[in-house]
């Protein structure tokens, strides 16, 4: 049996374990290629659009001041496609390239995460408490070609630029402009 939550059936732990066991025993057919953004999010958007699934937010974010960002599956799909285009076109990234994202808890963190999945770009998240030395280590170890952050953390990235030979583009999340940085909101 399954429980109903917001009109959706949820799997119980026993069902999840049963499914996992069947996969391990090769009783379930696994796709050769799987992309969460296109295979799950886009499918849910299609089901909502066709009226086969009740409309629920795919993403719902509320900050300390009570401001909300609420995206449907269709909106998240559309925005993540645009963000994937920003990464591949404006930032020049290709499938398999690496991106380091050091952002506070903002909607763009999730948007970039889904965009990376969609485009086949490897996403490396980092806490906003990283120091310049931490950032340099992550850039060198990951060989990231793009760094995504906000105005507050950009100076720490700029301080290590001479030592980060793989970095090709810098993307800032915020309202303002910064020399040498692309602005995500403007490009979307």
Digit-coded pLDDT (tens) for 111-121:
999 999 999 99
**pLDDT tens digits, residue range 122-150?**
999 999 999 999 999 999 999 999 999 99
Q: What is the pTM of this model?
A: 0.81
What domains are defined for the chain? 87-186 (3.40.50.980)
**pLDDT tens digits, residue range 42-53?**
999 999 889 888
Q: What is the CA radius of gyration of the chain?
A: 19
More confident residue, 153 or 29: 153
Going by C-alpha positions, the residue among 185, 91, 89 that lies closest to residue 145 is 91
């Amino acid at each position: 049996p399954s429980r109903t939550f917001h009109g959706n059936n949820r799997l119980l732990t026993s069902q999840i374990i049963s499914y996992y066991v069947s996969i391990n025993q090769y009783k379930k057919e696994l796709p050769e290629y799987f992309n969460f953004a296109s295979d799950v999010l886009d499918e849910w958007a299609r089901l909502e659009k066709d009226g086969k699934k009740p409309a629920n937010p795919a993403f719902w974010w509320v900050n300390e001041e009570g401001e909300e960002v609420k995206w449907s599956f269709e909106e998240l799909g559309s925005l993540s496609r645009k963000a994937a285009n920003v990464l591949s076109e404006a930032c020049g990234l290709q499938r398999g390239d690496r991106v380091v994202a050091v952002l506070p808890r903002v909607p763009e963190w999730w948007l970039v995460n889904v965009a990376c999945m969609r485009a086949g770009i490897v996403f490396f998240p980092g806490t906003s408490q990283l120091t310049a030395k931490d950032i340099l280590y992550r850039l060198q170890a990951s060989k990231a070609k793009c760094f995504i952050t906000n105005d507050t953390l950009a100076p720490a990235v700029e301080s290590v630029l001479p030592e980060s030979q793989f970095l090709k583009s810098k993307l800032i999340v915020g309202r303002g402009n910064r020399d040498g940085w692309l602005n995500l909101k403007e490009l979307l």
